[in-house]
Structures are given as C-alpha cells and as structure tokens.
C-alpha cells in the first residue's frame, strides 16, 4: 500500500486538522499527547522537508505512547525493588530507624505499594517506634562518683 504524501500544515487550523486525522486514524485516546508529538516531529524535520505521511506521524505518536508506558513500568518496578529492599532491611532489624523513615517517606509521597508495606510492617511490629535504642557500653559516658574525703 502506497503511503499518501501530505504537505506540512501552514496554519494553526491545518495543524489541528492534521492532529485530528492522526488521532482518528490511529485511535489515539490522548489528543494532547498526539499534538505534542506531531509538533515535535515537525520541528525536528530537516529544514528543506515540507511533506510527510500520516503513517509516519501516527507511528511517531504510537511510539511515544509506548515509550511513556515502558518508562512508567520501569519506574514502578524500580520503586517496588527499592521498597522491597527497605522491607528486607526491616526484616533483619525491625528497629532500623533509617529504613523505617525511608518507608514512611515513600508512603507519604503517595506510593500505594509503600503504604501497603508500611501497614504490614506496623501490623507485625506495633511497638517498633516506642522502643528506646540500646547503646553499647563503649557508646555511653560513665560518671565516676567521687569518694568522700577521709577525715
């Protein structure tokens, strides 16, 4: 099938029609993203290029959508691994305040996965934040009581 070559838009109205045509042909449900991708692709075309195809622009929009989804999935997986690493640290030492703070921070920043893990941790360790840390003897200062003068 031969691709129909089209002229690049020369007015805002022609640009909007081009975006609508790509959105309709490729069933894109995010017209704003399609508009941004098409505008960017046109800006990056060689200076002497004044034509393109709907297939090219549609493919660029679909690629951008796929790229955004893949990026989101990778970020979600990385976040899950980070939360799991925090949970592993808390399994080794439930009183690791740094790990607990990191879990609380992730939860407060809107991570549903971190909220779930924090609730799970607090359910299994309800008194973890009420304990006073135990210091090693060499970490504490000693105070010698002076003896009373003989006399």
Residue 117 to residue 83: CA distance in whole angstroms: 8
Q: How confident is the model at residue 125 (pLDDT cuts 50, 70, 90)?
A: confident
Cβ contact 49:66 at 8 Å: no
3-class state of residue 52 by DSSP: strand
Provide φ and ψ at 52, rounded to 5°.
Answer: -160, -165
Beta bridge partners of 5: 53
Residue 84 to residue 117: CA distance in whole angstroms: 9
Beta bridge partners of 7: 51
Q: What is the pLDDT of residue 143?
A: 46
Q: Does residue 138 carry a pLDDT above 50?
A: yes
Q: Does residue 137 carry a pLDDT above 90?
A: no
Mean pLDDT score of the chain, rounded to an integer?
88
Span 37-73, pLDDT tens digits: 999 999 999 999 999 999 999 999 999 999 999 999 9
Is 1 or 86 the better-scoring residue by pLDDT?
Answer: 86
Question: Can you give the residue ranges of every domain in the chain?
Answer: 5-124
């Amino acid at each position: 099938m031969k691709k129909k070559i089209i002229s690049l838009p020369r007015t805002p109205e022609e640009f909007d029609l081009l975006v609508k045509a790509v959105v309709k042909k490729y069933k894109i449900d995010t017209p704003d993203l399609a508009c941004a991708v098409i505008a960017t692709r046109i800006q990056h075309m060689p200076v002497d290029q004044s034509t393109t195809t709907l297939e090219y622009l549609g493919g660029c929009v679909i690629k951008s959508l796929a790229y955004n989804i893949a990026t989101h999935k990778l970020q979600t997986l990385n976040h899950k691994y980070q939360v799991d690493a925090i949970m592993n640290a808390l399994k080794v030492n439930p009183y690791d305040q740094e790990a607990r703070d990191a879990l609380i921070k992730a939860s407060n920043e809107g991570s549903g996965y971190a909220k779930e893990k924090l609730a799970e941790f607090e359910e299994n360790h309800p008194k973890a934040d009420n304990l006073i840390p135990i210091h090693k003897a060499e970490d504490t200062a000693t105070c010698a009581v002076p003896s009373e003068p003989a006399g």
